[in-house]
Structure formats: structure tokens, C-alpha cells
Structure 1
């Protein structure tokens, strides 16, 4: 392989790993001049790769989709990871069913060296894919476009349908894609709400790229997990209740973390916080998270209010009674 060919392949590998590269940065990474980068870009174009260039100080290069799929460059770890992912995807709720992923897997494994195929087989044997059952169907196209924008810190415009069937357009900065339970979730910074929001990917109707880049907001991995968990925990409530706590909203936000969502201020010193669940027991569990020493009132309709009162009464009597002999 000549130096020119090797350099062109290295350039292609860089273009495939990021949506946009400034020309000066590509030249630095490849150890050549920007003029040489331009020549190598022309060579890639002759081979069928659509490389778009933009002039100016903020200009650079990006790899565009073409009329046909050109060859991809994958290192060993990427190839193995892709093969494992395709095997798992064949069992999941993606549009097109398992046939599409199986044909893609067959094409990839056909060109894998023997050693890599053995790694794939060994890993696949130890990976237990979750059973999806009646999970909502996710479009792999939507999932892929969001993943690219998340990687490249590109703002998106989404058409989203909420749980009540209302459609809206959301301008977001995508930060993380995460599966939870039987669903996929997008954690993003909502530009119109100026706050974090979590969207179910199966409810995203379309994705529009803006080509506007953003700087990531500070958020920890733990915060991401908590916000996705909050979103995954939500379900239609058979029993709805509400607590009015003797805490200002700002303090509720600080103490509850992402679980404060839905709370609203009641004056300067109190906060209304909705809770609920499939029955009164889940509503009670939510109320138990109110911090120690904080007084509150509860709105809970009958017969759930009487059921909760009876259960709490029995619990108090049990705690006041002497412990059974076998536990002493």
C-alpha cells in the first residue's frame, strides 16, 4: 500500500467517525498540509465518496450520503461490536423485523477474518438479549439519525407525539440515547423549555438536522441514569393523588432531583407535587419519599383514601404492639 493510499484511507476513517472536520484539524491529524488534504479529498470523491466541503474560517469537510453505499472502514473492535449488535437487534422491536438485520449480519460476518468470527461467536453465546414482548416499535432510521447528532453535538428539530396524541415540534440538543425497560429514550436539552427533557424514541415522528453545533451542558452519568429511570417509570395512573408540602419549589428540586418534575409552586413556601400509581399502595410509596420533618397535606379520592387510612392504622398498631416472642 502506497503512502498516498494509506493516507487517503486514514482520511476516510476520520471522516467516518465525525460529521464535520475543519480542514486545519484534518491536516494536523494526518501530518500533512491542507493542500494535501484537498487532493486526498478529491481522490475519495473519484472513488465514489461524497465529501462536502465548506469554505471560510469555520469551513471543513463532511462525508455525505450518496446514491450507493461505499465501502466502510472498521477496526477489529468496531467490526466485532457491530456483529454483536446486529445479532441482538435481530431479536428486538425494530421496523423491518429480523430479516433486515440478519442479512446485514450475514454480509458482515462473511468478510470477517476467522479470529474475529470466533470472538463474535464467543461473545454472542454469552449475551442474553432481553425479551421484548409487546414493546413499542422503534424506527432504526430515527434511532440512527439521533445517534449521529448525539455523537456530533448537532442540534435537532423533532416532531414528537406525546402520550395523549398531541404533536409538537421540539428544538433540542441531544445528549444521550438509552434503553430502559422495553423502550428507548432520548435525553436532551430542550431549547424552548430551557431545561432537560426525556423523550420516548418510538414517539418521535421525524428528525430534522440543523447543522448547528452546540456545547454540551454539564450532566453526570448518574444524573442521566436517574432522568431516564424517571421517564421509564412513568405510566398511566389508575390512582392519582397530590401532596402540598411545606417546602419552596427550589428546595424540592434540590432534594428530589429529577423526581421533582410535575411539581408546581403554591405561593413562596409551599409546593404541589403530583403522585400516583396503579393502586393506592404505589401512591403511598411516593408519599414516603417526602423528606423527614416536612409537613404536608394529601388529596386522594375515595375509596383509595379509606383504604390507605385503614392500612396505615394497622401498621401503626403493629408498630405499637409488643414484638412477637420469636423475633425477640
Structure 2
């Protein structure tokens, strides 16, 4: 609207923006405070015009938005592979189009994102994979893909892709399997060869929403993370509840409506034993022997903390 250095009457700007004159004046002052060159012109035929440079950038951000974009661009490689170069170019573009004052804010948030060696280790999906699946979700068309099973062999599937969910640094596809007539959750890093079928589908109601479905689904394609110490035990807790609160990189297998097998890892055996105690359930079929020994040691420590007698170590 403000181009070529010409003056645009305030009433005309307010009308075209669909705001009141008071809101327009406040927004202009906000832009000026941020360093954007919008000059008020008083007198007959007055209004607003662009000052230095004669053009507004295509992107107008405030301080908080600049910080959010800059930090997100510098840490995005932890969520997606193959996007590092594009993120660097986008960050350079942001710096060029914002005023000097906001550029200083951007430069104040120089972040180096290092992957955590142990916490929630998960491979970031390829950018092209997310783009292909995300396009099918957005366009609401069927998706044909290969999905890697637990035995490592791929199986071809045709699904209705409804949502992409990122939880605990893991990407999930929430889809409806029309053949089985049910909702399904797939780990995106186990998907290969996604191809849109071009067949449209109608939106379906998902009770509780996609995030809740991912959290309460035990069979969501998770793999046991490569911790130094890994083990498993049977808990007298429903699988859906354990799936919601198990740490990233754990695997939950339903046994019946009241029991499940939980496999997970930690940096030490005693640490792993402590994780199992957080579910407040009796444990059975504890494996391997190192985890059973750590559970016995944890029991002695907890007993001492509760004021009970401490049995000698074996």
C-alpha cells in the first residue's frame, strides 16, 4: 500500500486494512518504534509515506517474533535432516530485511544446537520425506507408502494421512486405515517411498485430538534407544497409560487390558531401576540379570531412606 514514496491518506489506509483510525495510528507508531521507515505527513492531503529507502520489506516482525524465528532457524537441524543450508540462508534473509535495531536482537541470539547424546535420541527425518507427507496431509489426499516393520522388512500401505505430530523429538504420522477401519500411528522415520494417490478423502473426527492419540498408543513404531544399559519388565499397568509416560526411546507392548511389557534404557543400571519404580507397579519377568540386581540395590536404598533395616549387600 505504501509504495513509490507517495503519501496515502490515513482514512484510505484504515479502510483498506479494515481497522479504525486509532488502531492505524497505534500500528504505525509500533512500526516506527521498531525502526521501520513510516513517516506521518500532516496538513491537507496528509497521511503516511515511506521514508528512507522508499519501501517496506516483505516481512515485518517485532522483537519477540525476530527472536522466535532466529532461534528456530538455528535449532531446526535437530528436528529435520538436510535443512541446514536452507536455514542459514533464511537467517541471512531475515537479517537483511529487518531494521538495524531488530538486527541487533537477532545477533544477540547466536545459538549452537548440539544433539543430546542420551536424552530422547531419535533420527531426524529427511526434509523431502516431511514435505511429501505434509503435502498429502494438507491436500487431504490418500498416501501410498512403505512402512518398515519390527523385523526390518517394508510393507506397502495406503492410508488417509490426517496429521503430523512431533513429540519427544520424534515425528509421527496420524492416519486412518480405511481397510481396517481404524486410526493408526506411524513413526515417520520408518516411512519410505511416500506417494500421493490423488484420491481425496473427507476429514474425520478424532476424539481427543492427534496428540492425545500418539501419546496413548503403545504400538506407535518406537524403537528401543541405544542407551548403555537397557532392560525390560512386566508392569501391572495398562499399556495406554505406560505409553503416555514412558521416556523417549522406550517400547511398550500390551499383554492384556491390565498388564504390559516395558523396555527402556538409561545411563546406568541403578538409573534404569529407578525409572521402572516411577510407575509404582510390582515388577515381574525383569531382564537382564543386571537390572534385577540393580532393582535389589534400589530396594535397599529406598528402605534405608524410609528408615527400614538395610540388609547387607550380596
Cα gap change, 1:308 to 1:86, in 2 (>3 Å): closer
Partner of residue 154, structure 1: 141
Partner of residue 240, structure 1: 231
Whether the aligned pair in 2 keeps the contact of 1:263 and 1:271 (CA below 8 Å) is: yes
Alignment partners' CA distance in 2, 1:264 and 1:132? 34
Give me the CA root mean square deviation: 4.7
Whether the aligned pair in 2 keeps the contact of 1:171 and 1:190 (CA below 8 Å) is: no
Partner of residue 186, structure 1: 172
Deviations along 1:270-322, one digit per CA (max 9) or x if unpaired, are: 5242333245335434432445xx65534333243233213312421342259
CA shift for structure 1 position 154: 3.2
Alignment partners' CA distance in 1, 2:76 and 2:284? 50
Alignment partners' CA distance in 2, 1:85 and 1:151? 26
Whether the aligned pair in 1 keeps the contact of 2:231 and 2:291 (CA below 8 Å) is: no
**Scaled by the length of structure 2, what TM-score is found?**
0.53
Alignment partners' CA distance in 1, 2:292 and 2:116? 35
1:315 equivalent to 2:302? Answer yes
Secondary structure of the structure 2 residue equivalent to 1:185: strand
Cα gap change, 1:306 to 1:320, in 2 (>3 Å): same
Deviations along 1:96-150, one digit per CA (max 9) or x if unpaired, are: 752x5555666x669x7x5578757745644746324887464222221222223
Report how many aligned residue pairs link the two structures.
Answer: 232
Choose 157-166 or 302-311, whichever is displaced more.
157-166
Partner of residue 301, structure 1: 288
Gaps of 5+ in 1: 2-73, 323-328
Cα gap change, 1:91 to 1:188, in 2 (>3 Å): closer
Of 162, 182, 185, which aligns to 1:197? 185
Gaps of 5+ in 2: 2-56, 247-251, 310-314
**Scaled by the length of structure 1, what TM-score is found?**
0.51
1:140 equivalent to 2:127? Answer yes
CA shift for structure 1 position 208: 0.8
Alignment partners' CA distance in 1, 2:276 and 2:233? 9
Alignment partners' CA distance in 1, 2:152 and 2:69? 37
Of 218, 227, 252, which aligns to 2:207? 218
Whether the aligned pair in 2 keeps the contact of 1:177 and 1:187 (CA below 8 Å) is: yes
Alignment partners' CA distance in 1, 2:158 and 2:125? 20
Of 272, 275, 278, which aligns to 2:263? 275
Alignment partners' CA distance in 1, 2:279 and 2:77? 41
Whether the aligned pair in 2 keeps the contact of 1:86 and 1:102 (CA below 8 Å) is: no
Cα gap change, 1:233 to 1:214, in 2 (>3 Å): same
Whether the aligned pair in 2 keeps the contact of 1:146 and 1:207 (CA below 8 Å) is: yes
